[in-house]
Amino acid sequence: MAATLTRAILNDLEKGQACIKVVTQTDTLSDTTFADADKLFTSKDTFAIAQAEPTRTDIKIDQYDETIDTAIETGEFNISGSIPSSAIELFDYFYPAASVQPTLTTGITSDDGVTKYTEAKAYYHEPKEVNVTMLVESQSKKTALVFTHVRMTVAMNHDSVQTNLFTLNFTGTVLKPRTDGVGSFVVLKKA
């Protein structure tokens, strides 16, 4: 049998994320799965796909202090990033709307005495847990990864108001798909 892992694999490198798309979680991937997908835009160098190292536990016997087996537990698989936006649509996606909404007629006047805030939407402070299928496309356009079941949530962050943008920091955990036999992730290659 011929070797498949050769130096040639170094010609297939993935760097950077050109596009991150999300749709309501589905185990069925088709040509049109991401046709009307929402897109996530992240601040530079904040997007990360990180699977924790597995942990190993030796199973020993008292006699002879021998290891008779090893239990390996897969590490948690997380996807995270910071979305630099305060758009209402983003809050709609990640936060539940309050049952009582504000009514503004002339708007709330800013400190400058001129600016009027006329659009208002209230949310509960606990973010939603959103189950999505996520496509991450590389900058080279050679490879894309699809994670079939990611449970995402967000946290607001505006830690240094003079230098940093307001962001919603998201964390997603890659979970087992809901259908047996479906992979947790799919590697897509261009033709």
Task: Look at phi and psi of residue 161 and say left if phi exceeds 0, alpha if psi is from -120 to 50, else beta.
Answer: alpha
List, in order, residues 6 or more apart from 53 with CB less than 8 Å away.
Answer: 75
Q: Please give the pLDDT value at position 165.
A: 83
Question: Model-level pTM?
Answer: 0.84
pLDDT tens digit string along 55-85? 998 898 888 888 889 899 888 999 999 999 9
Domain boundaries, given as residue ranges, for the chain: 15-56+70-95+127-189
Q: Can you read off the two tokens belonging to residue 58?
A: 């030796």
Q: Please give the pLDDT value at position 7.
A: 83
Domain 15-56+70-95+127-189 is found in CATH 2.30.110: yes
Name the CA radius of gyration of the chain, rounded. Answer: 23
